[in-house]
A = this chain, B = another copy of it.
Amino acid sequence: MRDDDTKTPAANLAMRTTASVRDDADATHKPRRKASIRASNETHLLACAEAVFAERGFEGASTALIAERAGLPKANLHYYFPTKLALYWRVLDDLFEEWNAAADTFDASDDPVVAIGGYVRAKMELSRRRPLGSKVWANEIISGATHMQDILLKRVKPWMESRVQLIERWIDEGLLAPVEPKTLLFMIWATTQHYADFEAQIRALAGKRALSAASFEATTEEVVKMILRASGARSPDA
């Protein structure tokens, strides 16, 4: 009944939303309580797993440490997630959902200044709100992205290709400088994710205050300005 835990992240995406309500048809209150215990423990374990995978990578993370952080015996972790890999896949799934939500902001407007600016802000906000998730993603890619080929090829690549066409259209319309679209997208990803992934370096070099709420917002606007300048974006004439 927990087959979904052993499938790849991409296969998992389709099934997961229905999983947490599968017992609700039952008449007694026991299944509902069980289901909510399950949901709450799974969520908690996923959050702790995200932190440990971020700090130590997949191979370096131990299920014992994840369970300890969650305040549960290691055997409970294996009750909810049969293998370390299944747990890891669930973490990657959740991260892609957030990535996907931010990606939507790219289509908020036909004005490249609004679209690109909004996307950069969304990615910066994601770095601020969920830096551990960004680190897990980065670790996975650095290690060769072996567990993410499905997500990259079936989800990220199609998104990128259609955004490349949109950028090329903007260039044709004279709303963007003649940039290589992929280079622009990579620059946006690299720069915004840097504030999550390289947090420790920024803290060491620029001091703790560099990551305070007010300072982070100012940095976000700096990044937006620089990316817009780099891309040569201008708003269409009204």
Give the B-binding residues of A (Cβ under 8 A): 54-61, 135, 138-139, 141-145, 149, 152-153, 156-157, 160, 177, 179-180, 182-184, 186-187, 189-191, 193-195, 197-198, 200-202, 204-206, 210, 218-219, 222-223, 225-227, 229-232
Q: Least Cβ distance of A202 to chain B in Å?
A: 7
> Are A183 and B59 in contact, with the CB atoms below 8 A?
no
Q: Enumerate chain B residues within 8 angstroms of A218, measured Cβ to Cβ.
A: 180
Q: Enumerate chain B residues within 8 angstroms of A225, measured Cβ to Cβ.
A: 179
16 new A-B contacts, CB < 8 A, other than A59-B59, A152-B204, A182-B205, are A57-B59, A58-B60, A59-B61, A60-B60, A138-B142, A139-B139, A142-B197, A149-B204, A177-B229, A180-B219, A182-B210, A186-B194, A187-B194, A190-B191, A190-B198, A226-B230
Chain B residue, CB-CB nearest to A142: B135
CA A55 – CA B138 in complex, angstroms? 12
Identical copies of this chain, number: 2
Chain B residue, CB-CB nearest to A62: B59
> Are B219 and A226 in contact, with the CB atoms below 8 A?
no
Q: Least Cβ distance of A145 to chain B in Å?
A: 4
User: Do A226 and B184 contact each other (CB < 8 Å), given the known contacts A57-B60, A190-B194?
Assistant: yes
> Are B227 and A157 in contact, with the CB atoms below 8 A?
no
14 A-B pairs with CB atoms under 8 Å apart are A55-B143, A59-B61, A135-B142, A138-B138, A138-B142, A138-B197, A142-B197, A142-B200, A177-B229, A183-B219, A186-B195, A187-B191, A187-B226, A190-B190
Q: Least Cβ distance of A227 to chain B in Å?
A: 7
> Are B230 and A143 in contact, with the CB atoms below 8 A?
no
